Amino acid sequence: MLESIALLGIRIDRVNLSLASEQICQWAKDRYRTYVCVAPVATLVEAQRDKFYAAVVNAAGMVTPDGMPVVWLAKLKGCRDIARTYGPDLMRQVCNQSQSLNLRHFFYGGTPETLNKLQQKLMARYPGIVVAGSYAPLFISQGQQEQEEIIHRINESRSDILWVGLGSPKQDFWMHLHRPLLNVPVMIGIGAAFDFLSGQKNQAPRWIQKTGLEWFFRLCCEPKRLWKRYLVGNSLFFYYVIKEFMGLKPKI
């Protein structure tokens, strides 16, 4: 069982890219049915306002520290061995490691164009990767069950790992809802990784990621879509952190 630490009432596992990838591949090999949430600041903030969402995240088999502020907070609370386990990097690591294990991948989310480019780039970078299928939903609202035909397609693909790129919190609710309906062992909510790895969107340079300012880079790229998530969400994060350190624990 993975060791973890509670941050604002959310269980964050004490993992790094290598440990997380090894565990995911082992679960896939063992056909152990679970799902993985990547948790940036936005996940912790949303969980303060939605108790059910907090329960969905805490029910995951693994919750990774996706953002640098999450890692810093964990280290501040004494968790020295934790490292950022960022969605796109985790996807690269798992795809690479899975080549020697013959694990089968299914990609759910994004657009047909994004999925086509994603698969082309992954197969070029990881020649041994096995792509079992993909599907780009036209639209699916939060909490909506997928069509039986698509559920059947995923099950028939005999996938070992299902990558879900719907963005948070929608992808986390989707995995929780569909976990009993799908045979695939491991589902991973991967956020914007499809867009980044396919080349559809620019990813922040490594030095910006390490400073914890990736949010500012993304805000500059998509201000209309992301201003509320980052400007309001980041302010709330610091507010909740201060409350917790003052002994006023989140009511989750």
- pLDDT for the residue numbered 250: 53
In-domain check, residue 211: no
Digit-coded pLDDT (tens) for 23-57: 999 999 999 999 999 999 999 999 999 999 999 99
Q: How many domains does the chain have?
A: 1
pLDDT band of 21, cuts 50, 70, 90:
very high
The residues facing 109 across adjacent strands are 165
How many residues are recorded in the chain? 252
Distances (CA, A) of 159 to 5, 47, 172, 249, 251: 31, 30, 19, 41, 38
Do residues 52 and 59 make contact, with C-beta atoms less than 8 angstroms apart? no
In-domain check, residue 106: yes
In-domain check, residue 236: no
Write out the two tokens for 139.
Answer: 């639209």
pLDDT band of 7, cuts 50, 70, 90:
very high
Do residues 43 and 66 make contact, with C-beta atoms less than 8 angstroms apart? yes
Ranking 74-78, 109-113, 165-169, 236-240 by mean pLDDT, the lowest is: 236-240
Distances (CA, A) of 117 to 75, 166, 168, 203: 37, 17, 22, 16
Range of the domain at 56: 4-203
As a whole number, the mean pLDDT across the chain is: 90
> What is the rounded average pLDDT of the residues 234-238?
85
Do residues 61 and 185 make contact, with C-beta atoms less than 8 angstroms apart? no
pLDDT band of 222, cuts 50, 70, 90:
confident
> What is the rounded average pLDDT of the residues 135-162?
93
In-domain check, residue 213: no
Examine the pLDDT at 221 and tell me if it is beyond 80: no
In-domain check, residue 230: no
> What is the rounded average pLDDT of the residues 91-98?
97
> What is the rounded average pLDDT of the residues 242-246?
82
3-state DSSP assignment of residue 160: coil
| Strand 4-7, strand 130-135: pairing | unpaired
Examine the pLDDT at 65 and tell me if it is beyond 70: yes
In-domain check, residue 249: no
Residue bearing the bigger pLDDT, 175 or 240: 175
d(CA 121, CA 119): 5
3-state DSSP assignment of residue 30: helix
Nearest to 179 by CA among 49, 36, 70: 36
> What is the rounded average pLDDT of the residues 118-147?
93
In-domain check, residue 22: yes
In-domain check, residue 29: yes
d(CA 163, CA 186): 9
Digit-coded pLDDT (tens) for 196-215: 899 877 776 777 777 777 76
- pLDDT for the residue numbered 251: 52
- pLDDT for the residue numbered 252: 47
3-state DSSP assignment of residue 111: coil
CA angle centred on 62, ends 59 and 66, rounded to 5°: 115
Nearest to 21 by CA among 152, 157, 154, 126: 126
* Count of other CB atoms within 10 angstroms of residue 192: 18
Examine the pLDDT at 183 and tell me if it is beyond 80: yes
